[in-house]
Amino acid sequence: MSLDRCAPAVPMAGASSWLHSSFYRFTPLADAAAAAQAVRGLAQGVTGAITLAPEGLSGAVAGTPAAVQAFEAALVASPAFGGALRGLVFKHSHGRTAPYARLKVNVKPELVALGLPGAEALPPPDEEDDSHLSPAQWRALLDEGRAVVLDNRNHFEWRLGRFRGAVDPQVPNFRDLRAWVAAQAPAWRAEGRPVAMYCTGGIRCDKTAPWLRSLGLQVLQLRGGILGYFEALPDAERDWQGECFVFDNRIALDTRLQPTATGPAQVYDPAQADEAWRLARALRLQAAATGV
């Protein structure tokens, strides 16, 4: 189910006047549809994409700093979540153009479509367990070189940018990851190597971690994801090669969390069927956001 506010984004003055905020929280929602209605009412003056599911919520919004900050405060305080969003981390970055054309609120079965069989038997994702490494600890892990550094994203994201030494699962969609990991797990177990995984903001890793542990793997995760790493370390380019793909009209960020000049045609390979439709969609969304 999708609830769309169709008013187009309005360009604002200033070189970096759009504040972008991304967030997620795994928390049981008895009525995700009702929570979605509440969120839609809170999101005044912002555009973006927000997903709610029985397992929680995730989203990204953009607007003036004042509008974004007002939304964040209202979301955390909303009675629709019964206090479960206290301490919610919002990752901020900026942009010169509208990241989104409008606000879209979706209700889905999962926040991240992994589609694991028997998922109900797994422990729920834990955003605070001790498998999460700080950026400084992650850098030390990269320097040590013992772990399997798993890029927990799609192939086109890895191709645009990645941590040094990262393994590319070469999957066109995140849901394809499980078959690739299952095939590699016996060798990783035999070698006694921990699996250290990362993704853009952390949600895909938190979603995947309980399943990886069920395969007998030692799991480590980068707390705050790539964006958190860029924010924490002013010399993140020491460890990051290329740019970081983001799922909005900015397309890519550098290690200073600033939009780059990269466009959709430089990200997606039209010769690949799964990337061809992504390219067409990205161009369509850009046109809607800019009014071109």
Catalytic residues: 199
Other CB atoms within 10 Å distance of the CB of residue 203: 23
Angle between helices 225-232 and 135-144 (to 10 degrees): 100
Check if the beta carbon of residue 222 is closer than 8 Å to that of residue 202: yes
